[in-house]
Chains A and B, each alone.
Chain A
């Protein structure tokens, strides 16, 4: 993927750039908002990773607003040292698609970048999600594996749905907390792990090949091969 990183802190920029390049992405970097806007407007990118506060008169929010006003719909991930909820809302309202507060683990950033870039298209809503022999019917809200019906609670259904929509991608605990429960706080306990292991009990127990995998230091991933 071609990624534009607009970040004024040289160390953070270097770290993010190196990490993204190592995972096979092409990264362009701009050190201030004006250069970032110029690059974003003149070239084609799959995703923009923007610092919320930038020098050069054009901050992250302004940059996105300008792009969106020009009809540019490239997904935007904000990086920000501003953690207040109002700031998050401001960033998303301006046209940002996701918001990550500094300091962050690189795994978290990578997972979010990949989730954003491969967002399921809104135009063709899927009615069935499938991986290996696991099938989810979004209309009848049923889950089967190997033809056998799995009894699943509504919240587990949403959890599994989110994992399936991002099959093959790492989904972090924070992403699950935000997307499945719409919570933006630290639950103190490893609640997400407990929920995933409960789901795992239903989906993987008694089958040869597990589908839900734990990715160390990152989160979870649903995929067909072990």
Chain B
């Protein structure tokens, strides 16, 4: 984890835009809540229009269809009469029908081939009405006034018959309907606007906690979290993800703080010691050889400080998850066999031995170098605490439910249960181990590597009940 030096601590500087009179309006128009509101208004208006169209066709349209059906039935009746009893009967039938028409809506006209009027209540044949079986809307002169009529024309053996209905009244009804629809459209428009405004306000209201939290955090208050409305809806889920992200950042920051604290506290001592030794040598060294020896010791001390420093950085790197970039599919078995062979030479030189119990293959996605180092640290630890002639066992197996398990067991003094929880802490060293060399960072790295691979480190007695119990360290890796 590195910080780029200099610059502002929060975000990169943004060039200030030149203020303009239109800016507030532009910002308003560009806002997402405005667009959602606009969308709402659009959908609302569209559904209102659709509703009006359906209403129109269901009423005005149905009136038209009724008129047409009546005219058609009338026409069939007249055709029937003509076929049964000839044109004279038709003239009679028209007169009968006109007499029966109380509402005075019916219009009939029958003319002979020469244009002579035979029956009906029209003075002359309207120009709009043409050949046999045609529909028309005609202006007809009737009782001295022009009225609009829907007409149907039929030919009966040389005679022409026009059947129609006065639709003026229906026209008025239609106008009333149109007026009503216009009013409701205006109302719908107003409702759409009000609804849009309410929606916009609601959206802004629900987003405000998240944006206020983000602003507070940008201003430096990392403890702030997005409050939950308790509705468990999309906004709450957004808030939850933001909070999870913030927790993770907080955790990483704490990790970095932890590393810097550790560096501050635990490197200070060796640095002070190295410095003291050099200063002392400068003051007291009697000859060149003594001075030289002191300087060499100083360099060795500095190298050790660097090693601790590197180890801390590597732990921090693993903890931060930064090394996932180096993840690749690997077979763990040769990695483990190599590490066992690598430390096997050390075991041999001390009269100890490393036994391995490995399966054919263990596939996982991980970081080979870190896994090797983690297992190496466990082996190194185990060898340090195992008496001469002792055996360290490295085994690995794949478990269907728990993923992969890597275990290192020794025959050393083990670790008291009260120390186990602290064993992964940086620089923690159990009292019993103070005499052995070590930085106190080995298990911290193992723990960090296990976490990086979605796993855990567990410490148990290797052979419970025995004295000494020995230590069993198990890395359980997830199937990630």
Contacts and interface: CB of A to CB of B under 8 A. Distances in A.
Interface of A: 82-86, 89, 101, 103, 105, 155, 181, 183-191, 194-195, 197-198, 217
The 4 closest A-B pairs by CB, nearest first: A185-B373, A194-B345, A194-B349, A195-B345
Prevailing SS type, chain B contact patch: helix
Interface residues of B, number: 35
A84 B373 contact: no
B326 A189 contact: no
Interface string B185-223: 000000000000000000000000000000000000000
A69 B357 CA distance: 49
B4 to A, nearest CB: 11
Contact of B376 (A85, A103, A185): A185
Interface in B3-57: none
Interface stretch (B58-66, B157-165, B336-344): B336-344
B386 to A, nearest CB: 13
B372 A185 contact: yes
B326 A86 contact: yes
Contacts of A187: 342-343, 376, 380
B311 A186 contact: yes
Contacts of A191: 342-343, 345-346
B313 interface: yes
A178 B172 CA distance: 98
A185 B314 contact: yes
Contacts of A197: 349
A185 B445 CA distance: 11
Interface in B378-425: 380, 383
A187 B373 CA distance: 7
Interface in B269-319: 296, 299, 302-303, 306-307, 310-311, 313-314, 317
A83 B313 contact: yes
A161 to B, nearest CB: 17
Given A103-B306, A191-B342, A194-B345, A183 B313 contact: no
A124 B370 CA distance: 35
13 contacts: A83-B313, A85-B369, A86-B326, A89-B326, A187-B343, A187-B380, A188-B376, A189-B380, A190-B346, A191-B345, A194-B348, A197-B349, A217-B296
Nearest to B343: A191
